Structure 1
Amino acid sequence: MRVTQMSVPLGIGATAPDFELRDQNNQRVSLSRLRSEGRKVLIVFFPLAFTGTCQGELGFIRDNLPRFANDEVTTVAVSVGPPPTHKVWSAAQGFLFPILSDFWPHGAIASDYGVFNPDRGYADRGTFLIGADGRIVFADVVGPGEARTEELWDKALGGSVGDIATES
């Protein structure tokens, strides 16, 4: 039996690792640039495009976009899938927010945030709200097979301070 070293998700108060990833339109998007606009940044890690739970979660963001993209917050979703896959999926689903590719080095940003699952080869469902100062003000990880709830989205967008929820 192989034992894999799992990283620990970043918690509230930690400095959010900066990144620059390509979105579904192959445009570079960086956390530092998003933060320079003076808004909080909600980072939504998801396992894979074209899967039911992920599609439902990102569909919730799409259907409630004014809550997720406004003068106070901007939202980006991150997956290990490549930009062309994200382009087809986001066009089909009407996702107008950035879907970022953590494709290569494979899962590096998810690893930096402590949500990459090396046994599966993709990120767990991590949700991080980054304040304008670059510190994490909300952090949560939903276990495999679980979907983020509306209550979790409300807490994330409210910037609630609390412990990271992880699957035991």
Structure 2
Amino acid sequence: MALSAGTQAPSFTLKSKNASGLADVVVPAPGKKTVVLFFPLAFPGVCTQEFCDVTAGLSSYGDLNAEVIGISVDSPFAQEAWAQKEKIGITLVSDLNKAATNAYDVLFPGLAGIGDTSARAAFVVDANGVIQYAEQTPSPKELPDFNAIQAKLKELA
């Protein structure tokens, strides 16, 4: 069962790949409202739809002073290739060893017979590091309720 609202969010420094190389990204962003989106894998259709849609509306998150970070068990190199191919503008970080996935309790065992991945889950973490919204979808094919996420961010404004 995913961590619930009111819980202190676990903090991790994870790797992200960008044009200048590998970078350390602290999740959640210290002192900022952060939307943490766990997703199973780069490249599948549902994941691509989710992150292309969020990228298209990224300014609305910025308007609410929130940072959006996507986490999967892919390598940072696979994430970067996917982001470039699909023009994804969200910071993607690698949880290759599944430490963050396990800490947030969103491990999806045996996805499509290829191994354990992150489940599809969304967390809104306030500037003090407390989870204010938590959702794990019933199946990896379902998207989080982005209207509820935006409403929670507005509440925290």
TM-score calculated relative to the size of structure 2: 0.86
SS in 2 for 1:139: strand
Partner letter of residue 136 of structure 1?
I
Match of 1:114 among 105, 130, 139: 105
CA distance in 1, matches of 2:62, 2:102: 25
Match of 2:26 among 30, 35, 57: 30
Q: How does 1:33-112 map to 2 (within 5 A)?
A: 34-36=29-31, 39-70=32-63, 72-103=65-96, 105=97, 107-112=98-103
Compute the RMSD of aligned alpha carbons.
1.6
Aligned structure 1 segments of 4 or more residues deviating by more than 4 angstroms: none
SS in 2 for 1:111: helix
Q: Which residue of 2 aligns with 1:146?
A: 141
Q: Give unpaired runs (5+ residues) of structure 2.
A: none
Deviation at 1:109, TM superposition (A): 0.5
Deviation at 1:30, TM superposition (A): 0.2
SS in 1 for 2:67: strand
SS in 2 for 1:128: strand
Percent identity, aligned pairs only?
A: 24
TM-score calculated relative to the size of structure 1: 0.81
CA distance in 2, matches of 1:17, 1:70: 25
SS in 2 for 1:69: helix
Higher strand share: 2
Partner letter of residue 74 of structure 1?
E
Partner letter of residue 57 of structure 1?
E
- Name the count of aligned residue pairs: 146
CA distance in 1, matches of 2:132, 2:47: 23
Partner letter of residue 128 of structure 2?
D
Match of 1:18 among 11, 26, 33: 11
Deviation at 1:62, TM superposition (A): 1.0
Match of 1:131 among 126, 134, 153: 126
Q: Give unpaired runs (5+ residues) of structure 1.
A: 1-7, 161-168
